[in-house]
Structure 1
Amino acid sequence: MKRRHLPPVLVLLLALSLLSLPFRRRLFLPRGPSQYYAGGDALLRRLAAADAGGDQVRAEAAALVANASVSSFPSIGNRYRLLYLRLPYHTNATSAPRQRAVSRLRVPFETVPDDGALLAAFRASLRSFLLARRQLRRRGGDDDDVVAGVAMGGIGDLLDRHPRRERFPTCAVVGNSGILLGSGRGGQIDAHDLVVRLNNARVAGYAADVGAKTSLSFVNSNILHRCAVRSAVAAGGCACHPYGRAVPMAMYVCQPAHLLDALICNATATPASPFPLLVTDARLDALCARIAKYYSMRRFVATTGEPANNWTRRHDERYFHYSSGLQAVVMALGVCDEVSLFGFGKAAGAKHHYHTNQKKELDLHDYEAEYQFYRDLQARPEAVPFFDETPGFKVPPVKLYW
C-alpha cells in the first residue's frame, strides 16, 4: 500500500501549533493577578470583600442564642460534671422537635457556674459576637474599619501594651511547619521582643530549632475545645496553656459553640492561677478572611485561566478559611516595627507540623495562596491588598526565614 504524506503546509501548521503550546500556557495561565478579563485586580478585591462563610457563622450563633440549652450531670464518683450544649432539630416537617448535642464538655464542680448562670453568660457572649459582625456587615465592610482590626482590638491590652501608644521593636511569628526541624533557629527566635506561637505547638524537645520563649499563644477555637475537654478531669480546670498560665492566649472562633469553652476556661482562672484569654476582634477576622480569599482567587485564576467568579466551584465558602498562622501574622503587622516569620512554607519530604507526624495539609486552607501573601509582605508590600486602602497604615518590614 502506498504511504500517504501530509501536505507540506499542514506539516508546517502542525509544527507551529506544537511549538506554540508553551506560549499558550503562558497566555491562559498568567503568573500573578490576571489581566485578561475585565476588572483585573480590582475585581479580585471586590470579590474577596464578600464574606466567605460569614452567613453560616452568624446563622449558627443566632440559633444558639434563640434555642440553645445547657444541662449537666455528675460523673461517676462525682469527679466532675458532664455538660451538654443542645439544640432542637426536626427529623421531618411534621415530627416533634428532638434535642441534639452540639457540644459535650467535662467541667469541674467548684469553679464553673451552674447551668442557668452558664447559659445566660453564653447567650450574652453570643450576642456580643453577633452584634460586632452585624455592625461590620451593615457598614458594608468599610475598609477603614476593617483594616483598623490590624490594631488587634484588645490584644494590645492583653499584652499590657496599647497598640496605638507603643509597639514591639521586633516580633517573631513561629509557624508549625516541619521545615523548622534541623534549622537551628531557636536562639534567633528567642532574641525577638515578642514571640507568637500557634495552636499550642510543643517546644519541649524542639527548642534548638523553634526556641523556647513564648509571649502570646494564638489558637483557633477547635484547639481550645479539644484541650478543654481533655484537661478538665486531670487538671480540675482548663489546662490549655503549655507555655504557662501567665502567657496570654488569643483565640479566633471557628464555631460559635466554642464560646462556651472560652467562658468555662475563664471561669477556672484564679488570681493565683490566671488564664488570660481573649477572643479576636471581628474586624481582624474580616480582614484576614478578605486577604485569604483574595490570594486564593488570584492563585485560582493564575493556575486555571478561569475567571475569578468560578473560584467557588473549587472552594466551598462555608468551609474555606484562613489559617491560624495567617491571622497571627496580620495581627503582628499591627503591633510590631519588624516582623520575622519562621516555619511558614514547606519542602519535599518535610512534615506538615514539626511536632506531629501529620504530612498532609488541610483542604480547609489554601496554603499555597497564603505562602504568596507572605512572600508579597517581604518583597512587595505595596502590592498587598486592603492595607493600601487605609491612609496612614504602613506594612512594617517583614522577613521570611525558612
Structure 2
Amino acid sequence: MLCQRRTQVVLALCLLLLLWQSFRAPPDGPGGPFRLVLRARCPGTNSSAWFSARYDPAVEPLLLGRAPELPAEVVQWWLRLQGPSRGVQLQPIIQQLFSVFPAPTGSAWDPSGCRTCAVVGNSGQLQGSGHGPRIDAHDWVLRMNRAKVTGFELDVGRRTTHHFMYPESAVNLAPGTHLVLVPFKPLGLQWVASAFSTGELTRTYMRVKRFVRADRDKVLILSPAFLKYIHDSWTQRHGRYPSTGFTALLFALHTCQRVSVFGFGADSEGNWHHYWEKNRWPGAFRRTRVHDAEVEFSLIERLAAEGRILFYK
C-alpha cells in the first residue's frame, strides 16, 4: 500500500514537471530559462469584407534599399510631409543610409510558426493594470517613442524587442533591441544615418539627439510605401499620416500571427495622457494636428471585434 502511494506521488511530481517544462522558454531563448511564454495556437481566421478591403499582405513594411521601386505617388506624398522639398534627391539619401547600415534583402523575420506579439502603447490606462507579466510572455514586445520601463515593470513589462521612434522621439536602447525608424519625412533617414556615424545632424524642426546608443545591425527602417498604405487603406486619409503607435500595430499585423494590444486609448476616467506623466491636462492628446486618435482607436476596436487582435483595455 505504501509503495503504491509513493508511486502515485512520483507520478504526480513528474506530471507537474512536464507541465512546467511545457510553459518554459528554451534555455537560450529571450528572457532566460524562467520566462513564461505564450503557447498560443494560430487557427486560421476568416477574413471579413471589411478586413480584406484594408489588409494587403503583399505590402512590404521595410525599406529594402531599392528607392527606384517606390511608386511615384508614394514619393510625392512622402516628400510633401516635410513641407517644401527644396530639391530633395531621394536616391543619394538612400545610398548614404545603406552605406551606414546593411541593406536588407528581404523580410527581417521568419513567417513560419506562431509568433506572439505585444504592442504596448503609452496610454495612462496602463497605470495599475498589472499587465507586465502578460506583456513579457510574448515573443516580441513592441514599444514606441519615449516609453519608459524602469519603475513601471509591473504594469508595462520589462522586455522590449522592437522600439519604434522618429528623430524627435529618439531614445537610447538596450543591447539586443531593434530600433525601428518611422520615417515620417526624408530628413528622418538622414538623421538615423548621421546618428550612427558622423553625428552632424542635430536639428530638424527642433533639437534632436546627435547620437543614439543602439545595435547598428538591428536597425530596421519602415518603408514610406508602408506608411502611405496605412494612411490610405486604414486611416483613410484622416490626419496627415498615422501615429507611431498605430504604425507599430500594423507592423505587428503584418509580421506576427497573434497580436495583443495594450495601452491605447483614454484611461478609466476618459483622460488621454502617457502613463509616466502627471495628467494635468485631460484630453490634451485626444486631438493633434497630424493624427486622428479617435479614428485610430475605432479601428483598434474593430480589429478586436473581428478577432484580429486581443485588445486589453
What TM-score do you get using the length of structure 1 for normalisation? 0.48
Q: CA deviation at 1:255?
A: 2.5
Change beyond 3 A, Cα 1:367–1:184:
same
Distance in 2 (CA, whole Å) between partners of 1:55 and 1:371 is: 27
Following TM superposition, the consecutive aligned residue runs of length 4 or more in structure 1 with deviations greater than 6 angstroms are none
Using the alignment, how far apart are the partners of 1:65 and 1:198 within structure 2?
A: 29
SS at match of 2:88: helix
Question: 1:398 maps to which residue?
Answer: 309
Q: 1:65 to 1:53 in 2, by over 3 A?
A: closer
In structure 1, distance between residues paired with 2:250 and 2:105: 15
Distance change in 2, residues 1:206/1:401 (3 Å): same
CA distance in 2, matches of 1:349, 1:169: 33
- C-alpha deviations, 1:160-194, integer Å up to 9, x for none? x334xx35521100000001001110011001111
Whichever structure has more helix as a proportion of its residues is 1
Match of 1:213 in 2: 159
Amino acid at match of 1:241: N
Equivalents in 1 of 2:85, 2:220: separation in Å?
18
**Aligned in 2, Cα 1:61/1:247: closer, same or farther, shift over 3 Å?**
farther
Tell me the distance in 2 between the aligned counterparts of 1:221 and 1:167: 34
Unmatched 5+ stretches in structure 2: 1-49, 55-72, 200-212
Q: Secondary structure at the match of 1:63?
A: coil
Query: Cα RMSD (Å) of the superposition?
Result: 3.6
2:87 to 50, 63, 69: 63
The answer as to 2:251 corresponding to 1:331 is yes
Identical aligned residues as a percent: 28
Is 2:236 the counterpart of 1:294?
yes
1:241 aligns with 2:172: yes
Runs of 5+ in structure 1 lacking a partner?
1-40, 67-119, 129-152, 225-239, 297-314, 382-396
Conserved 8 A contact 1:61-1:257: no
Residue equivalent to 2:121:
175
Secondary structure of 1:334's match? helix
CA positional deviation for 1:206 = 0.6
In the alignment, the residues of structure 2 paired with residue 154 and residue 344 of structure 1 have an alpha-carbon distance, to the nearest angstrom, of 33
Q: For residues 146-185 of structure 1, what are the structure 2 equivalents within 5 Å?
A: 156-157=107-108, 161-163=109-111, 166=112, 168-185=114-131
Number of aligned residue pairs:
219
- Amino acid corresponding to residue 196 of structure 1 in structure 2: L
Aligned partners of 2:265 and 2:272 also within 8 Å: no
Alpha-carbon separation, structure 2, partners of 1:293 and 1:273: 31
SS of residue in 2 equivalent to 1:326: helix
Judge conservation of contact 1:262–1:277 (CA < 8 Å) in 2.
no
- TM-score by structure 2 length? 0.60
Superposed CA offset, 1:275-322 (max 9, x none): 3322202331121111453284xxxxxxxxxxxxxxxxxx6xxxx221
SS in 2 for 1:218: strand
**Aligned partner (choices 362, 369, 374) of residue 295 of structure 2:** 369
Corresponding residue for residue 124 of structure 1:
95
